[in-house]
Structure 1
């Protein structure tokens, strides 16, 4: 029987939280689009530093910026990003994740459009623009975690957190699309198009997203009540200052911090050091390999949703208590990827074997959507944005430290033998935090999530449920 589109949509209309999760995916995509587009556009913006006399393509005006200048411009974003990781979470908890994420993304889009103008004013102006875009970008992920804490039922958090992999997809599509725009229209249009597109999505963001289900104009009463009841008594309507002292001295939080650091070290290492190994040691130009260059990122994106869906099913069926679920999935998110690094050091002789190992390692790391990327939601739903901001602040530092480790081992010789030890160190930093988390980590809501008067009133059961003794209400965790 054929039914009309209107009847179909009315009968099979996705819940409002589906659209919220979709916009979280897009927010992270935009964040990375405006983060990485500069790296490829910069190549077309500068004069070459070599003595090659080959005529250059006309992609627009070129600037005489040295390699040192270019390095500073590329780093400007990250200097700003580090500053706002923690404040971004605090702002989201006080003013709402919708407002903070939407406003910062919209401002970043405007600055992206203004980047060509800043280039005409000088390198200092470009540095300032990129620095401010980084300041704004640092608030995106903590704000998204704040929204997840308000919108995601416990047995759907895996899929919600996997939506944050929109940043991975943003990386995959931005580099080739920017290259096409630069070659066909010039580098200035690569900024204009990405900025205009991002601003348009921000308008949709403000129309679709709300800080909480209760504030959404179009959500059904049934869905609102379902979300609110499923989240139970762990969320407070009060805007409170994060208890930093209790947070930073909490062993479960320290276990999460180390777990996230290990994840970011492995992720950064595979994205930066492994391609360097392929290029300099095995003489394989991954950038020319087309699909192969994006395959590891696609594997991580797809498997993140897969692992998230499996974890949600396990919680829905109550097959594992939540803490055991988090710890067991560390096998996939950290330990197996770390073992692949050891394998890379032992058998990394053929470029295509290396690409396969890197793809498998990053793919399994998609399970981070169940472990370190979700555990902040467990420990303190009221401060999920702040917790993620803190762990992400420390998690950004491998971007600085990982290259130093590579340099220390390859200072005298850049051979397979030296790189073997580089991979072993990377594996240890990947695996050790996972073992620590398996001992000291937990998914139980911490007492410092509540006001003093509510401390110790919520505990985790072995079934993965949460009990609030004050009103004897049991809600799914």
Structure 2
């Protein structure tokens, strides 16, 4: 805070770093579509209304059906595919396997990214996930065990790609533009687990709230939920995997061609932009910059597990759990932010508080963030898209406000930034504690049509 910041220039949305954010956006979009593909396809894969043999899968013979029933449309025959006898318990294992894969690679991938380079790690993760998506229909014919294995390795690949993004932004994002750049990049995959669980609930015919690590969804989740069903109906469920797996492979070519680990080695970056980024990051510590993300991931996972434990044991009501974790996720980082100006003389204490702020704020993931699944499961994706839009606007406004405040006086400006963020958190917490609910609203309930 005491050092004079480098000269700033306004954000140039035609610059290379914003192009990197856009490419990363489409990479995240591709990974979320690949991840949620099975959640959409499973509705057709286990459709009990189609004829199934006693074995693992049955195949419809278009020629035989045509001969036995000439009036049946050819288009309907062409969309038939394998039907599998998977129980709800088996489906639950399949869906959760990708989360186990992600957890396994969160820490090792961060270490490997420092050795092999974030570009290689993220690109390899995207490529492996895309290839496994292409082979998923074939794996389903060989048995459910192979599907679980593929989903686990796909989670490991996406965990590699997710962790590698932060290493890239540590070298590409100037401190005053990190919110904007990461918001653009992350909006392709935000809330992916939420959208996945919502679509899974459709296949189980009962919407269930979840408390799993969110990474995700505005664009990617909305797109797959809208288009996946149409693809399954028109071409057959295997084409959901073929189409989005192929898109991922094409995106990999763009990634390996355009992206570089740092601006210093990029052949197309302008000298002005390179100097601006390098000078802005001259005083940053790479190891310390990664610690808040590790803390955030840990708190998200632990918070989700604790919330589900409290609900499964009926220790607290659903609305109590939502308000409890919302209070922790807003109150704890606010206290840390308010304390920061008063412990500036202690380097270690300052670092600890800066790590705890993003870490504890992710406890909200088990609170109000997934509350839309409780009050309006039918419209969860639509409402999440709206709330994510407000989140993106808030990221832009906060970055602009921060730049304005610290431009007057660095030390006083940062103190005002921390106080202002704490005040906004408290205002939101009071509003949610007052009006928050967990029951399905009347306007979100399904209406039963009756004939007179």
TMscore range, shorter length: 0.5 to 0.7
Which of 361, 371, 394 is residue 259 of structure 1 equivalent to? 361
Question: 1:325 Cα deviation (Å)?
Answer: 3.0
> Residue 328 in 1 paired to residue 416 in 2?
no
Which of 344, 350, 373 is residue 442 of structure 2 equivalent to? 350
CA distance in 2, matches of 1:105, 1:327: 40
Q: Which residue of 2 aligns with 1:135?
A: 156
Q: Which residue of 2 aligns with 1:178?
A: 228
Alignment deviations for residues 222-272 of structure 1 (CA, whole Å, 9 cap, x no partner): 1101100011222469xx999x9999x935423432222x13213663254
CA distance in 1, matches of 2:125, 2:281: 28
> Residue 126 in 1 paired to residue 151 in 2?
no
Alignment deviations for residues 55-95 of structure 1 (CA, whole Å, 9 cap, x no partner): 99954110111111111111111111111122222222332
CA distance in 1, matches of 2:99, 2:372: 16
Q: Which residue of 2 aligns with 1:310?
A: 397
**Residues 50 and 68 from structure 1, CA distance in 2 versus in 1: closer, same or farther, beyond 3 angstroms?**
farther
Q: Which residue of 2 aligns with 1:460?
A: none
Equivalent residues in 2 for 1:28-67, closer than 5 Å: 28-48=28-48, 58-67=79-88
CA distance in 2, matches of 1:196, 1:331: 47
**Residues 31 and 263 from structure 1, CA distance in 2 versus in 1: closer, same or farther, beyond 3 angstroms?**
farther
**Residues 201 and 330 from structure 1, CA distance in 2 versus in 1: closer, same or farther, beyond 3 angstroms?**
farther
CA distance in 2, matches of 1:215, 1:201: 21
The answer to whether the 8 A contact 2:405-2:416 is kept is: no
CA distance in 2, matches of 1:59, 1:334: 54
Alignment deviations for residues 152-205 of structure 1 (CA, whole Å, 9 cap, x no partner): 112211111212121112111111111111010001000000000111112111
The answer to whether the 8 A contact 1:311-1:325 is kept is: no
Q: Which residue of 2 aligns with 1:469?
A: none
Aligned CA-pair RMSD: 3.6
Equivalent residues in 2 for 1:54-453, closer than 5 Å: 58-163=79-184, 164-167=186-189, 168=217, 169-235=219-285, 250-260=352-362, 262-266=363-367, 269-270=370-371, 272=373, 274=374, 277-278=375-376, 286=378, 292-319=379-406, 321-322=413-414, 324-325=416-417, 328-329=420-421, 336=428, 339-340=431-432, 342-345=434-437, 349-351=441-443
Q: How many residues align?
A: 322
List 4+ stretches of structure 1 deviating above 4 A.
55-58, 244-247, 330-335, 346-349
CA distance in 2, matches of 1:201, 1:334: 42
The answer to whether the 8 A contact 1:98-1:147 is kept is: yes
CA distance in 1, matches of 2:144, 2:438: 44
Question: 1:217 Cα deviation (Å)?
Answer: 1.5
Q: Which residue of 1 aligns with 2:17?
A: 17
Taking structure 2 as the reference length, the TM-score comes to 0.63
Question: 1:308 Cα deviation (Å)?
Answer: 1.8
Question: 1:296 Cα deviation (Å)?
Answer: 1.9
Question: 1:140 Cα deviation (Å)?
Answer: 2.4
**Residues 256 and 324 from structure 1, CA distance in 2 versus in 1: closer, same or farther, beyond 3 angstroms?**
farther
CA distance in 1, matches of 2:21, 2:37: 24
CA distance in 2, matches of 1:199, 1:333: 41
**Residues 263 and 325 from structure 1, CA distance in 2 versus in 1: closer, same or farther, beyond 3 angstroms?**
farther
Alignment deviations for residues 335-370 of structure 1 (CA, whole Å, 9 cap, x no partner): 627743652328964335x9xxxxxxxxxxxxxxxx
CA distance in 1, matches of 2:272, 2:136: 46
CA distance in 1, matches of 2:269, 2:404: 26
Q: For structure 1, list consecutive stretches of 5 or more residues without a partner in the other structure.
A: 1-11, 280-285, 287-291, 355-477
More displaced stretch, 320-329 vs 215-224: 320-329
**Residues 303 and 135 from structure 1, CA distance in 2 versus in 1: closer, same or farther, beyond 3 angstroms?**
same
**Residues 84 and 254 from structure 1, CA distance in 2 versus in 1: closer, same or farther, beyond 3 angstroms?**
same
Q: Which residue of 2 aligns with 1:448?
A: none
**Residues 70 and 299 from structure 1, CA distance in 2 versus in 1: closer, same or farther, beyond 3 angstroms?**
same
**Residues 269 and 334 from structure 1, CA distance in 2 versus in 1: closer, same or farther, beyond 3 angstroms?**
farther
Q: Which residue of 1 aligns with 2:325?
A: none
CA distance in 2, matches of 1:324, 1:348: 40
